[in-house]
Amino acid sequence: MKKSHRILALAGIVLLLAMYASTLLFALMDSPSAKGLFMASLFCTFAVPILLFAMIQTARALRGRGAKDALLPGEQAEKGGDTDLTPVSAPAEDPENNENEPSETQV
């Protein structure tokens, strides 16, 4: 796992250096499209690290959530839970005592 972290960190450094170099290159170019490329590169120079930081912080905050609640059926018995997976049915309705339907006096 540490090796993959180092590779990703190195790739991020290379990406940042490439963005800085392209920003400098576009600033020095004398072309009609240089201004648009410079503005896009300048935007990416700030936006990409901020978005990566936000994604890393969100992943850290969400890591481990839901893992305790998501038990497989076989794991419930190990945790001391109920192993019966049959659905619970609703109680049978009494047709004579149905409060949802209007009575003859209410109509």
pTM, entire model: 0.49
pLDDT of residue 49: 87
The pLDDT score that the predictor gives to residue 43 is 92
Judged against a pLDDT cut of 60, whether residue 80 lies above it is answered with no
- The C-alpha atoms of residue 2 and residue 75 are separated, in whole angstroms, by 31
**pLDDT, position 45:** 87
List, in order, residues 6 or more apart from 82 with CB less than 8 Å away. 76
41 CB neighbour count, 10 Å cutoff: 19
Q: How many CB atoms lie within 10 A of CB 80?
A: 6
